[in-house]
Structure 1
């Protein structure tokens, strides 16, 4: 590009080429840094709180702890990405490239899956307040958690295989994100399937459990003659989870599939159009990762006595100082 005279290329093509580089340096880099700072502190506080402040774990605590641990591990990859984008560099270590993309997508799809189980747990607690249901026990939650990690890894495994294949073809010298891999038609089919199974179906699950919680708690309120308004908080939290994932994940998944489709030969799109699509896709990436920053809010709203125990511990530490 630098060795090519301006007169040899179209003005529109010349103007659109550096958009992705500018976004990576001045948009992705600072946003990843901000997400790390806020998300790491929030999730680290939750993990330490669960380890040192919670004497007895219920089923929901198992789900929330795994969610926080997943967010924490993923957030630790952001400083490296922020540094590389700020300096216009690409990851040169193949292992680091694959591990980074693996952690990113495992966290992406485990977060919404664990939020499904959290919504399910709240529904079961309403129908079985004495916790007689197997899934309301810590052991049942551990079984569900193990199966969830297995399912997410099975979902992400083909993506890792595609990345390794692409790196092998490029002599292990260039680290690409999933949407920028080779123009294999299998990539688009896999991405669409991952969108369906990893995002849309869990989102429907959260919506169904939210509606069931709303219906049951409103029935209880009517039975008590409108004297009980405690249903509002769990209903709002369940709805907020569905809205959060819908708002944060939808743009990312739409643009990821559009980005992959735009690179196919049958799309017939020009270089500048593909670059604009790539730019929109870049914009959606840190938006999707905001869930790792917002998730700690749900720990305080949905954890059994977790907020009170954690705040009590912090007050004791402050008094000692």
Structure 2
């Protein structure tokens, strides 16, 4: 082969490589949210989608596919073509916890997805209707003991933190709690505000709006520290209900075989968008704690969550 031919082939290969890179995310992107519209995950997706589109040079839309505690939308992304046209934005609860407690979910967070970047963390909130006589957790336990027929509460999806909270309260009250799953945190709030259920566990962002409107009362939050936007609300630990010292996070995911170059491109775009001052302010107002990661950081956070919930969901010996 002549030197000139070597040069021509090398130039052609470079053009092909450049062309492939240039086509990254040039097709429209659909971000699937596995919950009903209106919740924090949906709000976050709709905040970020147009800005990601501007950075990536394409159109980014949001589609809600609620059902089966997040399984429907999450499984749809697992089965999608790994070409960057279909992505998932979800909390680790839907990606990690649900398949551990629902073996028929048909997906595994680490085996079936590429984590594209963490966005933010959030706490879980236990709320009661504004009409409830319970002013705090101790008062709610007293209410359950006095009226065990009212020992029901709403949860956004099965398993994980929401049901751990129910178990913690059950032990203290000595009264079995009946959990009613809804299609996301936003769906829990109307029946809660109407007094159709005695309490509800939701993401703090969803509960905050109705709390500020005086329609519900937040009486405890998860995690090891009080929420900065709810400084007067104790953690479960502070209120004498240990075992809920855990929070959750939102992140983007792609089908497992997404090319690494596309994962790099998307993560860089995401981190660019999350530096925008308006985006940072709106995320803080949700309220979520902004906590972006690079790809390696996203993998570590997902692995930590998987390890925690693998152990937490093991049958007690």
Shorter-chain TM-score: what band?
under 0.3
TM-score under structure 1 normalisation? 0.26
Report the structure, 1 or 2, having the larger strand content: 2
TM-score under structure 2 normalisation? 0.27
